[in-house]
Chains A and B, each alone.
Chain A
Amino acid sequence: MSNNGFEPKIVGFLCNWCTYTAADTAGVSRMEQPPNVDIVRVMCSGRIEPVFILKAFAEGADGVIVSGCHPPGDCHYSNGNFKTFRRMPLVEALLAQYGIPKERFYWGWISGAEAPKWAKLVRDFTQKMRDLGPLNWKSQIASKED
């Protein structure tokens, strides 16, 4: 542990068919991963509204993960993940303008067969958040707000 023992809070929005399955497999297979990611299972990554991500940060997340099925062919609904890759670059740009660095927001693709990839993402991303330290959006705004 670095950064005075700080343990980040990470919210992961995962699609039911691919990344959630990978996360489930990673857990069942007892792959090593820190317990910092709170997973929200959604039916499709195309169902993840940008407001979910903003709300996670506003309410105290230090990092957010969005992950679904690999495009173009893996989506259970054939093209739900197309909506994801149209939206997320803009969400990334929006967060940067808010002053939330790109490192705190991961979006990408992990299929149901890629459990080790999920476990590695959780390890790496959590470590990155530990190094970056707390985001603490609410108190950051409140403490300097005058």
Chain B
Amino acid sequence: MPQNGKLKLALYWAASCGGCEITMVELREKLLIVDQVADILFWPVAVDAKYKDVEAMPDKHIDVCLFNGAIRTSENEHLAHLLRKKSKVLVAFGSCANEGCIPGLANLFDRQSIFACAYVEAPSVDNPNKVVPQQTTKMPEGEIHIPKFYNTVKTLRQVEDVDYFLPGCPPQPPQVWAVIEAILAGNLPPKGSVVGANEKTVCDECKHTREEKRIKKFYRIHEIIPDSTKCLLDQGLICAGPATRGGCGALCTKVDIPCRGCYGAPPHVIDQGAALLSAVSSVVDTNTEQEAARIVGEIADPIGTFYRFSLPASLLHRARLP
């Protein structure tokens, strides 16, 4: 704790959607307590501080930095290195910083194909000269630069040393608040721990009744109205609960929407998608090879289904580059 008794806090967003900032706002009146006990030195969405202000700070000046977002561009990576240098404790905040999350699904493509799709081919784009972002552009006033867009989305851990991992898309406000309280009380677990989540899977928190699983057919969520008392996976909806860390309170399954896996892999699982694939396919209800191949063949997009939030953190990281 610093001399004036106030915690020096920084928050940053790299490649993310802004949902993690909403989580901070969802602390509601507790945000006023955060303001009382902490000086927010840097928070691009809410505080007017510039990168040069962070660069001017002495090393380890910030007590805690909550870093959300994946590493998509050279700017994201630069800030990861800078904030690591300036912070005593660096927290990977939210699914993007932890596992790459939805932006990480871009690892199925590369820079060139992403630019082609986003700036040239998409039906809503009007770009007759096929202009795509260039790192350097010559203008009459001089050269201007934008950050480099990487081929591969990375997690924070893949570019910097991280102290704590706070998962979720977004992390649930009560869990965030519990972590802030632990920080204030100086009551943090050993470095490298996952905080703000549980040691068991989402199934452990889910209220639906589980029976022995037998899946005859997989359904997408718009195809059936599930029974709200029975396990969603039993009913043929691909639910990531068995391969996802608990901590969210099973919010999605509470309203009969299958878990999508945003809290990342549970403890001791090194590849969330492989674990989910294994769990889902091994309970297919058939004893013939042809039938099994047909039923699992109905899953059209295995990576998008099983690695929806964790492709960059998976063992293979990305699809093979051309």
Contact = CB atoms under 8 A, between A and B. Distances in A.
B131 interface: no
Interface stretch (B43-51, B167-175, B288-296): B288-296
Interface stretch (A7-15, A29-37, A77-85, A111-119): A77-85
Given A86-B284, A145-B151, A94 B306 contact: yes
A76 to B, nearest CB: 17
Given A54-B316, A98-B316, A89 B148 contact: no
Interface string A87-100: 10111011001111
Interface stretch (B17-25, B57-65, B80-88, B272-280): B272-280
B297 interface: yes
A100 B317 CA distance: 13
B277 A87 contact: yes
Interface in B282-313: 282-284, 286-289, 292-293, 296-297, 299, 301-303, 306
A106 interface: no
B295 to A, nearest CB: 8
B166 interface: no
B297 to A, nearest CB: 6
Contacts of B108: 97
Nearest to A96: B302
B282 A87 contact: yes
B274 A97 contact: no
A50 interface: yes
A98 B278 contact: no
Given A57-B316, A98-B316, A137-B316, A51 B321 contact: no
Interface residues of A, number: 31
A2 to B, nearest CB: 22
A140 B321 contact: yes
Contacts of A91: 277
A90 B299 contact: yes
B116 to A, nearest CB: 17
B319 interface: yes
Given A87-B281, A146-B150, A97 B303 contact: yes
A141 B318 contact: yes
Contacts of B284: 86
A91 B162 CA distance: 32
Contact of B274 (A49, A72, A141): A49
A7 to B, nearest CB: 22
A90 B150 CA distance: 30
Contacts of A55: 270-271, 315
B155 to A, nearest CB: 13
Interface in B252-283: 270-271, 273-275, 277-278, 281-283
Interface in A40-94: 46, 49-51, 54-55, 57-58, 71-72, 79, 82-83, 85-87, 89-91, 93-94
25 contacts: A51-B270, A51-B274, A51-B275, A51-B315, A71-B287, A72-B287, A72-B288, A82-B287, A86-B281, A86-B283, A86-B296, A87-B296, A90-B302, A93-B296, A93-B297, A93-B299, A93-B302, A94-B302, A94-B303, A98-B316, A98-B319, A99-B321, A141-B152, A141-B321, A146-B151
Interface of A: 46, 49-51, 54-55, 57-58, 71-72, 79, 82-83, 85-87, 89-91, 93-94, 97-100, 137, 140-141, 144-146
Q: What 8 A-B pairs come out closest when comparing CB atoms?
A: A99-B320, A51-B274, A50-B274, A94-B302, A58-B315, A89-B293, A90-B296, A87-B281
Given A50-B274, A99-B320, 20 more contacts: A50-B278, A51-B275, A51-B315, A54-B271, A58-B316, A86-B282, A86-B284, A89-B296, A89-B297, A91-B277, A93-B297, A93-B302, A94-B277, A97-B301, A98-B319, A98-B320, A99-B321, A137-B316, A140-B321, A146-B150
